[in-house]
Amino acid sequence: HAGPLRCSNCSRCVPKDKAIKRFTVRIMAESAAVRDISEASVYQAEYVILKLYLKIAYCISFAIHS
């Protein structure tokens, strides 16, 4: 028996084995903001841009229609 998950879009309760799971990586700062920070900085060091790691679960109907 699989435990339930909630769809990230519609909050429908979906069994864990039937949910469509996606792993996305997003950069927290826009490229324009990163460029502005590097231009305004005194130091010529390479910045470590923080990333946001998301594990998203979708129900079947949303995965089909998106």
Going residue by residue through the chain, which has 66 residues, state the pLDDT in tens, using 9 for 90 and above: 679 999 999 999 999 999 999 999 999 888 888 888 888 888 777 777 889 999 999 999 988 887
Number of Cβ within 10 Å of residue 59's Cβ equals 21
Burial of 26 (0-12, 13-18, 19+ CB in 10 A): exposed
Distance (Å, whole) CA 14 – CA 20: 9
H or E stretch at 51: strand 51-58
Distance (Å, whole) CA 59 – CA 40: 45
pTM of the predicted protein model = 0.64
Q: For position 7, what pLDDT does the model report?
A: 93
Number of Cβ within 10 Å of residue 14's Cβ equals 22
Q: For position 41, what pLDDT does the model report?
A: 81
